Amino acid sequence: MTPSDPVDSEASGATSKAFPESGHPHLLDRDHSLMAFNERVFSWATRTDVPVLERLRYLCIVSSNLDEFFEVRAAPHLTAKRADDRQGSYSVRSFERLSVALHALVARQYALYNESLLPALEQNGIQIISHGERNAAQRHWVKQYFLREVRPLLIPVGLDPAHPFPQVANKALNFIVRLGGLDAFGRSNEIAIVKVPRVLPRIIRLPAQLGGDCAVFVALTSVIRAHLSELFLGRTVEQFSQFRVTRHSDLAVDEDDVQNLRTALRQGLVHRHYGEAVRLEVSSSCSEYLAHFLLKQFDLPSMSLYRVSGPVNLVRLTQMIDLLVRPDLCFGHYKPCFPRQIHADANIFDQLKKGDIVFHQPFESFDGVLAFLRAAVIDPDVLAIKQTIYRTGADPSLMDLLREGVRRGKEVTVVVELKARFDEEANINWAEMLESIGAQVVYGVVGLKTHAKMLLITRREGKQIKRYGHLSTGNYNATTAGLYTDIGHITANAALTGDMEQLFVHLASQSRLPRLKEMWVAPFSLQKNLLHKINVLGGAAGKGESARIVLKMNALTDVELIEALLQAGRQGVQVDLIVRGACMLPARVPGLSDNIRVRSVIGRFLEHSRVFYLRLGAVEELYLSSADWMNRNMVRRIEVAWPVTDPVQRQRLVDECLLAYLHDDADAWDMAPDGSYHRVQSRTGRPGHSAQTALMLRYGLSNFHEGAQRPLT
């Protein structure tokens, strides 16, 4: 099978061109590749065949992605700009090129919001009205809301030597005001700052009787803007603007120099909100005087200023989506089925003795994981439960089961990753709760993040001790399990569960990890084994044998693995890469990557599963993994990859995770040799084949009949 779908002329706005300053001139730039990914997400917000509230949601997702990009990736570029010199692989040129791409994407976001989404919402009876658009009754209600809910929480700060510029938190909403006249002491201090508390909703719905046939909303920024003068009695408001500063927020703790990592991280969280400023957003109408004042205050160059025609934080518009009950303007409801291989009326441990269980989220539900853990908690023969925790979210279901396991006398060991970015506080709280009830909580290996997803059950069966394990490509998070595609694998395979036991012992004791039988573990063997497999296939292809590689992951940025794939492709291996996000490997470049194709699928669900298919002749291997092919995953994290050896299960994963996506001509984008992406178009002129839609039909309809299997050739 070789997909040869034509592509249209629609291309993602950012091109991931080679970046000679990176030290690898034939590879694509990682940060520009991330921008190209966000352009693909943004394309969903532009699609008129997508319900309007979902289009708005995609716009919010892009804004959230950009926030995280600035918080994590922008600082090195900015450092090079300030130094007016190269700083490692970053330079003034890298900062300027990236800024141009970012400004272009932000401009397109707000143009879409104002020119397309707001009119589309209004056509469907949803309005966000400004002060000038409000009638007398609406203005009266807004004023009363301001006086009752907003004004008591606002404390304007006039700047003078005794009142310097206040600390402004990361991504917080603020107003800057230039005042005329004199203050109460006869001084002409003209600049004031108004900090807006996070507790205030950013979008407010007016009572139904004030909206007529429409659902009418007002933005908090509009409410404050209309009543700014009431905060400065005796002064005139001459200029003003909302503003938001984004700060570098990648929390760094020297683990070799702390006595208690949990305490150090909790202290570090306090300072995260006040890291180095990397971006300044202001209203499009902000005066040059105020913009220059803010840039100077935050020590930012002019290209770090983003003027926006709307709210400075589009992400908060998700609050409006949540306040609306308009199923006609959203995707049709999809309820995942309970994993089909798990028989609710059978003992799951007896079932596992007959074969492994594989389920495909979110088409099959996360309830399969909870059912497995619940069975272990209530089974009197289960002696121990061990689990890794990376991101669990706010849903307490899983933690409640672990807590109940402790109450019932099980030995519960939980490896909690405290350094899961932006989830540190939640994980600290979960760790403290588990410790308080008697669970054994460990924090993994110093210097490494524990990113592996494992749940291991130890059970007494007669005179024997048996192990049962769950491995996953995604987190133990009930919320994201309904939004992300991932593979869960429950097994009684003694070799694989034995490897899991050894890894848990290693994480708790930090003793040497012995040679494992089935599992590959980063940072010890994962990259080495992947390189070995690729090189073997390349060598065989060079001798004329048939060899095939198909990889599905979120990101491909590890240079050593990329070089191995390029070499294998030159030796004759046919390589297909399904990479949702950043990909530094250039596809179909003559003489470099003729045999390598790169595809990205952006759909209703976020593609998150990691599936690695390797074939030499008629011998097929398929691995699932917690790891993307990034350097950090290979050398700075505890990651796992494991084989799926059952031929029926393996073929199912080939069909659902690889073939379906290689034949997608509805939600897929193919990479061109210059690193740009072009959306794949259906040949027939009719709506194309969407892999995600097909899987929803397969698992959402009991009468769905699977088509004939196709070989992966």
At 315 the pLDDT is 94
At 23 the pLDDT is 62
At 700 the pLDDT is 83
At 399 the pLDDT is 86
The tokens for 627 are: 């790891």
Q: Are 428 and 266 in contact (CB under 8 A)?
A: yes
At 251 the pLDDT is 52
At 5 the pLDDT is 37
Alpha helices in 379-514 (DSSP H): 397-407, 424-436, 494-509
**What is the tens place of the pLDDT at every residue in 338-347?**
999 998 888 9
- Please give the single-letter amino acid code of residue 136: A
Write down the catalytic residue from 32, 227, 451, 470.
Answer: 451
At 117 the pLDDT is 97
At 7 the pLDDT is 37
Displacement of CA 530 from its chain's centroid (Å): 25
Q: In the chain, which residues have pLDDT < 70?
A: 1-23, 87-88, 162, 250-273, 394, 418-427, 444, 446, 701-713
**Bridge pairing between strands 215-219 and 126-128:** parallel
At 426 the pLDDT is 66
Q: CA separation (Å) from 395 to 60, 315, 401? A: 23, 22, 12
Which single residue is written with the structure tokens 């209530």? 378
At 707 the pLDDT is 36
Q: Give CATH 3.30.870.10 domain extents, the chain.
A: 348-518, 521-700
CATH 3.40.30.10 is the classification of domain 348-518: no
Instruction: Classify domain 126-253+276-330 at the CATH superfamily level.
Output: Polyphosphate kinase middle domain (3.30.1840.10)
Respond yes or no: is residue 470 known to be catalytic. no
At 217 the pLDDT is 96
Query: How far is 515 from 524, CA to CA, in rounded Å?
Result: 10
- The CATH T-level fold of domain 521-700 is Endonuclease; Chain A (3.30.870)
Question: Of 111, 216, 196, 107, which Cα lies nearest the Cα of 146?
Answer: 196
**What is the tens place of the pLDDT at every residue in 466-481?**
999 999 999 998 888 9
Q: DSSP state, 684? A: S
Query: How far is 339 from 353, CA to CA, in rounded Å?
Result: 17
